[in-house]
Amino acid sequence: MSEIIKTDVVIVGAGPTGLFAVFELGLLDIKAHLIDILPKPGGQCAELYPEKPIYDIPGFPMVTGQGLVDNLMQQIEPFGPTFHYNEMVEGLEVLGTPEAPAFRVRTDGGKVFETKAVVVAAGGGSFQPKRPPVATIEAYENSSVFYAVRKMEDFRDRTVLIVGGGDSALDWTLNLHPIAKRIILMHRRDDFRAAPHSVNAMRELVASKQMDLLIGQIAGLKGEDGQLSAVSVKTADGVVDVACDRMLPFFGLTMKLGPIADWGLNLHEQLVPVDTEKFETNAPGIFAIGDINTYPGKLKLILSGFHEAALAAQKVHRYVYPEKKLLFQYTTSSTNLQKKLGVS
């Protein structure tokens, strides 16, 4: 087992709410580790609409999704949060008592944390690859069908069908081409969203017959015991079988509640009910803020998540520093807060 990381707070999810929680906790001298399954911060803002304008962030007449995330990252920098990307929080175990809570948090990458409080800022759930809706696909997952390349070796000397038209599909086509037996790239149309230079490189490989390009869509899978032997493909000329023993479908990401459902938290329609004073769940020491929570009047807006982060931080302080009294202070005038922000 890897070394246990000890911290005040683990924040599940690095969306705008999780990021701002670092700020509010930081003002109260509480250190945070953030974990997100995505390779970058920003949650929905960065993943779903980085270039779209947002008009209802107080004080910003207009800011793009990515612009907001960049600003938040700058704003929380003085507090030196630690980010753990590409990791999904899987397990959450209660170690302490309701008066002095403590938790053990485990990720799918094998990291283990021990923490005094957990802030669940998981939005609509963790971003996970979309699974093509073909029967029996689950039987092949992680043996023949993969949604990401973790080890290139899994593809050596294999006939790999890569499905999609974006950067992931094209990048892996080019990266796996040298080690695979054969690469077949399949897309629904002969038009690719991916970066033009990778599209050109792919077209050259096709022209020199070093790989195949197929225009079509997945219709079914053939094989036995999780070992893929062919994919049925719907093309303009009818359904054909394409022999292959590995498939990599890239259809983007969707949000799934995921392991949060197993943490002993009350759930209401895939959301975590909280009180509106501390935004604490039914489990003392576990908080839920942002899109993941629900309470009477809840609005799934970024500004609600910010407000919830500020209030939750007050209660987290009671758990982390039970003996200290909290003084209400403004960042404008408190030299103490300004020192923490590195501006005084």
Interaction of residue 322 with other proteins, rule CB under 8 A = no
Query: Which listed range, 158-166, 199-207, 225-233, 261-269, lies at the site for other proteins (CB under 8 A)?
Result: 158-166
Query: Which listed range, 103-111, 124-132, 198-206, 329-337, lies at the site for other proteins (CB under 8 A)?
Result: 124-132
Interaction of residue 255 with other proteins, rule CB under 8 A = yes
315 binds, among ligand FAD, other proteins, none (CB under 5 to 8 A by kind): none
CA dihedral 183, 184, 188, 194 (to 10 degrees): 20
Q: Return phi, psi of residue 11, to 5°.
A: -105, 120
Interaction of residue 251 with other proteins, rule CB under 8 A = yes
Interaction of residue 49 with other proteins, rule CB under 8 A = yes
Rounded to 5°, the CA angle 252-118-305 comes to 60
Of 57 and 337, nearer to ligand FAD (C-beta) is 57
Quick one: which of 91, 109, 132, 258 contacts other proteins (CB under 8 A)? 132
Q: What residues have CB less than 8 Å from 283, skipping those under 6 apart?
A: 94, 101, 263, 264, 265
Residue 136 region by backbone torsions, left for phi larger than 0, else alpha for psi between -120 and 50, else beta: left
Q: In sequence order, what DSSP letters do the residues of 76-101 get, joined into one string?
A: HGGG--EEE-S--EEEEEE-S-SSS-
Of 223 and 305, nearer to ligand FAD (C-beta) is 305
Q: Return phi, psi of residue 90, to 5°.
A: -105, -50
305 binds, among other proteins, ligand FAD, none (CB under 5 to 8 A by kind): ligand FAD
Query: Which listed range, 72-80, 199-207, 248-256, 317-325, lies at the site for other proteins (CB under 8 A)?
Result: 248-256
Q: What residues have CB less than 8 Å from 254, skipping those under 6 apart?
A: 127, 128, 129, 130
Of 65 and 81, nearer to other proteins (C-beta) is 65
Joined together, the tokens standing for residue 231 give 């994919």
Of 14 and 242, nearer to ligand FAD (C-beta) is 14
The residue count for binding other proteins (CB under 8 A) is 21
189 binds, among other proteins, ligand FAD, none (CB under 5 to 8 A by kind): other proteins
Q: In sequence order, what DSSP letters do the residues of 89-148 get, joined into one string?
A: EEEEEE-S-SSS--EEEEETTS-EEEEEEEEE--TTSEEEEPPP--TTHHHHBTTTB-SS
Chain residues binding other proteins by CB under 8 A are 48-49, 52, 124, 130, 132-133, 164-166, 187-189, 191, 193, 217-218, 251-252, 254-255
